[in-house]
Amino acid sequence: MDKEERKTINQGQEDEMEIYGYNLCRWKLAIVSLGVVCTGGFLLLLLYWMPEWRVKATCIRAAIKDCEVVLLRTTDEFRMWFCAKIRLLSLKTHPFSSPKSMANKVSNGHAVLTENLAEENRHEISKYSQTQSEQIRYFTHHSVKYFWNDTLHNFDFLKGLDEGVSCTSIYEKHSAGLTKGMHAYRKLLYGINEISVKVPSVFKLLIKEVLNPFYIFQLFSVILWCTDEYYYYALAIVIMSVVSILSSLYSIKKQYIMLHDMVAAHSTVRVSVCRVNEEREEIFSTDLVPGDVMVIPLNGTIMPCDAVLINGTCIVNESMLTGESVPVTKTNLPNPSVDVKGMGDELYSPEIHKRHTLFCGTTVIQTRFYTGELVKAIVVRTGFSTSKGQLVRSILYPKPTDFKLYRDAYLFLLCLVAVAAIGFIYTIINSILNEVEIGVIIIESLDIITITVPPALPAAMTAGIVYAQRRLKKIGIFCISPQRINICGQLNLVCFDKTGTLTEDGLDLWGIQRVENTRFLLPEENVCNEMLVKSQFVACMATCHSLTKIEGVLSGDPLDLKMFEAIGWILEEATEEETALHNRIMPTVVRPPKQLLPESTPAGDQEMELFELPAIYEIGIVRQFPFSSALQRMSVVARVLGDKKMDAYMKGAPEVIASLCKPETIPVDFENVLEDYTKQGFRVIALAHRKLESKLTWHKVQNISRDAIENNMDFMGLIIMQNKLKRETPAVLEDLHKANIRTVMVTGDNMLTAVSVARDCGMILPQDKVIIAEALPPKDGKVAKINWHYADTLTQCSNSSAIDSEAIPIKSVHDSLEDLQVSRYHFAMNGKSFSVILEHFQDLVPKLMLHGTVFARMAPDQKTQLVEALQNVDYFVGMCGDGANDCGALKRAHGGISLSELEASVASPFTSKTPSISCVPNLIREGRAALMTSFCVFKFMALYSIIQYFSVTLLYSVLSNLGDFQFLFIDLAIILVVVFTMSLNPAWKELVAQRPPSGLISGALLFSVLSQIIISIGFQSLGFFWVKQQPWYEIWHPHSDACNTTGSLYGNFSHLYNETEDDPHNIQNYENTTVFFISSFQYLIVAIAFSKGKPFRQPCYKNYLFVLSVIILYVFILFIMLHPVAPIDQALQIVCVPYQWRITMLIIVLVNALVSIMVEESVDYWGKCCLSCALDCRKKIPKAKYMYLAQELLVDPEWPPKPQTTTEAKALVKENGSCQIITIT
């Protein structure tokens, strides 16, 4: 095969796919068309369900470069197939169609499929189009266009300015805007800028729903029953299917409308763009393309695309994307060419530079500009490529839920199909031997298939999930992905965000600890006093924040708000008119309240002068460098009114701030004091300051890089914030631990604070050891390494001589391992270490996942990687976060619960109305109950199929069958009532340590089903063959009267039958009546046997509807069996049998019930015993990787790593990430 025939697109990404080229083949098409006609359209349906077969049956392989159709296959575990048609984009229709002018147009800006810079893109057209035809070949898959790229010899999706463009080129090449010609050309390629969620018409949805294999099977069943004159049952199934289809259509349509409304808000707005010759043009947002320079209006807007800010400042509400309702300040992208200290040619990335990027769908509340300049942003991504577009795509095209239950359900159905095939063959042979007509043989043999694979199965399976969803709604948990409820029953590890999830959302200011003459002063509680009002410390607290006034109300980061409220200052912002009028207006001014200024000072000339000055004591914020989670700090440039020099203030993570300060200004006991606070669970923020040179003018400050400001600072001290645990946190975590569910903390906070909170809430027990893994990336030719420190477990070391972080373990290496064998240990690491370990120590990742409990300073994408790493060792992972930066992890986890009701919860399968983690055990309990209900229903439906299948097979042997109304009574009155009521058992009150099985194919479950099948078949056969041995038995005919003991009632009844015409289907006979009564009771017996309660569901006697239904059915069947009622018997086509045989049937049924329930009860006990014996005999390797690993690590002398040791990555062996442990003495 030609190598060109198979390639990979989106390599290394989540949606990586293999791509194969095909061309349409006319003779194959003709054969398929003939096949469609011969099979009555069934082949067409089969090809509709299987895109791979469709393409292979009608096309021949071709080189991807020249193909007409592409076949795509995902490279993940699902290996799903898709096909797409190649389309041609003609450039002839375009006014700029000559290749030369085209190349010039393209080289003007970021080119067609740019992964290179503009100057390297001189030959764009020859790269993307066949020159002779000037056509570009492309296909669309999941709303993304893939264009043929001659350089790559492969298809590639159209990238915007978000990849491969440096910050320098954004200013130098793109800030002028596009010419109209370039804009028109790009629009041709990029298409309309919209996230279009088309709401399909009801007809389209109906066709798609009806063509589901299950409904096709139902249609086949209904046609078959109609030909066999089973009209009532066929009608009942049709009504059920119609109700099912309509409810499904309603929910799908509702979801589409919700999604459409969510994206429609910004779909079309008028925007102003700047063109090359500095003219402004009003266009619709749908016409925007990457490279356009968009003017952000003063009164704000909803962003119609992703754009990077190059001029001015914006205050943005990003709750749509992040779930954080706090407004965020966005500043212009630093321009490396004018920075005092250049950043080098850094590549622009929306993720890295998110503080300078305005994302699609977010709301710009206010804009700030200086000296009459416009607030401008360059469009970097449009349509489905934007961050919101990607979110919408993930909802429109979700990954299939891979869950063992569903895989096993299909296997089980295949087994039933195999059983049906045996019955099919048996029926044909039996009928031929009995010389039955061909028409009857076909109908009866096909009928056995419809009996074995029950058409009501999907409705029965979803009932339990629907009820669970309703119960969850009652306790304030909303679900957008009901199939995930079952998966939540399997969760055995839950990751928790810290702030706002385990702890209270807001922080309280506990106090401050200032530094004077490089020594810490005593902690102070009250910051709002006259002594400190003009100190640099308070000035830093007053200016170093991103607060803003929105409609007169101060809003911003909760931490900044608390800090600003603590000093009691006033913030005033310049109005738009003032900003436009004055050249050097300070955009934001802060000043203390008058009562704090020392008015009542003793008189005296000197004092009076001092008094005059504070009356107008104000500080203006000149430039703001917003908080960056990557840098873990923020800074501002401010000026006190009347001062010549400006001040730089900085606040952030203490370790980071200290590294940017002059060493001589940092107290010697800094690390000890910091460790003291963090161990007590306080959130610590450090402040720093320096006076700037007088040569730094206002204009220079606007263009200076933050690196030039954030260095050589004077350390000023610490702010200590208290983050209290939520009241319910310890109790919930204790419940989870009792249920053997592991808990993990994933936070953006400081490591020691996180470890302290983990201890306080019971995630890490007092006697447990904490091993901190500090991983360092390769540097100066040295390989990557991990230093292992043992955190101090005894919190009573609050004296000033706290232990140095390098010498934390207070025990010898010799006895540490023995201690650890007895006590549990936990790993803690920060985001940087986690990234290094993922890259350089892949073989250590599974081991660390097994005991990793605290992950601090984690970025949003690292949280997602952590969830994936845990899933890779076979954990069922739950994630609980407040939605602020957990979107990716919430979506990736098996069960993601968002505690935020904002739009970010679109990414999360579950959203809790109450912002507390008590929803986690509730969800797991309901998940377990729903999972057990699914098992019960599946087992019951399997038994129902087999019981009915065997009844019919037995009756076929005497050329009989069940009657239409008998089928109707069994399927509607018994099965549907039982199925829909047996699913109503609520969840058990508490979580238990035992977990439900994850699949149907488990020893105990199979034994349970098989034993019940054998019992049912045995008792049915007993009744069927025993009735033939009765002295009164004869082959039934209309004049038979076996029950002459019952008097006139049956005399009349027999006479009634004499007048009716002969029974063509031979339904009325003694075998039929016996089998009908025994099987009717059997359905109810297995329903009771399978309705398990504890430990996952409430006992079945508390399910009042189920109990009532079963009692009514038992009484009714018992009544018509022991006391015949002529009209009922006539409708059900039951014949008269002696009273003595009725009592015999009752005894058979009672013994059957006793045996079934005893066997089912003993399955649990004996199943466990047999399983443990089998495990002892075979020394079976556990299926889950984490259990296998745990067994291995028990006997590993090198694990856990000893204190003060270092693990190094082996130098040249990068691909498998091997490592060696070196003990440092």
Active site residues per annotation: 497
Structure tokens of 588? 């934001």
Angle ∠(941,943,946) on CA atoms, nearest 5: 110
The beta-strand segments (E) located in 534-681 are 548-550, 553-555, 570-573, 588-591, 619-628, 633-640, 647-652
Alpha-carbon distance 462 to 587, whole Å? 59
CB-based contact 407:938 (threshold 8 Å):
no
E strand residue ranges, 318-375:
328-330, 357-358, 363-368
* H or E segment to which residue 271 belongs: strand 270-274
Give one DSSP letter per residue of 1064-1092, joined into a string: TT---SHHHHHHHHHHHHHHHHHHHHH--
Decide: helix, strand or coil at residue 148. Answer: strand
Contacts of 729 (CB under 8 A, 6+ apart): 502, 503, 761, 917
Q: For residue 462, how many other CB atoms are within 10 A of its CB?
A: 19
d(CA 1095, CA 1089): 16
Q: What is the dihedral of CA 721, 725, 726, 727, to 10 degrees?
A: -130
Looking at residue 153, what DSSP letter applies?
A: T
Mapped onto helix, strand or coil, the DSSP state of residue 1206 is strand
**Both tokens of residue 85?**
């048609």
Inter-residue contact 1185 to 1194 (CB < 8 Å): no
Give the bridge partners for 742, in sequence order.
Answer: 493
Looking only at the bridges linking them, the beta strands covering 508-516 and 519-520 are antiparallel
Under DSSP, is residue 262 helix (H, G, I), strand (E, B) or coil? helix
Q: Give, for 208, the enclosing helix (H) or strand (E).
A: helix 202-210
Q: Give the angle 802-806-810 at the CA atoms, nearest 5°.
A: 65
Sign of the CA dihedral 1131, 1132, 1133, 1137?
Answer: negative
Nearest by Cα to 940 from 412, 407, 232, 417: 412
> CB-hemisphere CA count at 13 Å for 925?
25
Single-letter residue type at 212: N
Q: In Å, how far from its chain's centre is CA 1108?
A: 40
Tell me phi and psi for residue 78, to 5 degrees.
-85, -25
Tokens of 1197: 């002398």
Report how far apart the first and last C-alpha atoms of the chain are (Å, whole number): 59
Which of 1088, 1060, 936, 1081 lies closest to 1016, judged by CA? 1081
Q: Residue 910 is which amino acid? A: F
What's the chain's length in residues? 1225
| Geometric angle at alpha carbon 250, from 248 and 253, rounded to 5° | 105
DSSP-derived secondary structure letter, 119: G
Please count the other Cβ atoms lying within 10 Å of the Cβ belonging to residue 999: 17
Contacts of 1022 (CB under 8 A, 6+ apart): 1148
d(CA 86, CA 319): 39
> Per the structure block, which two tokens stand in for 652?
């952030």
SS3 labels along 865-906: HHHHHHHHCCCCEEEEECCCCCHHHHHHCCEEEECCCCHHHH
Q: CB burial class (10 A; 0-12, 13-18, 19+) of residue 604?
A: exposed
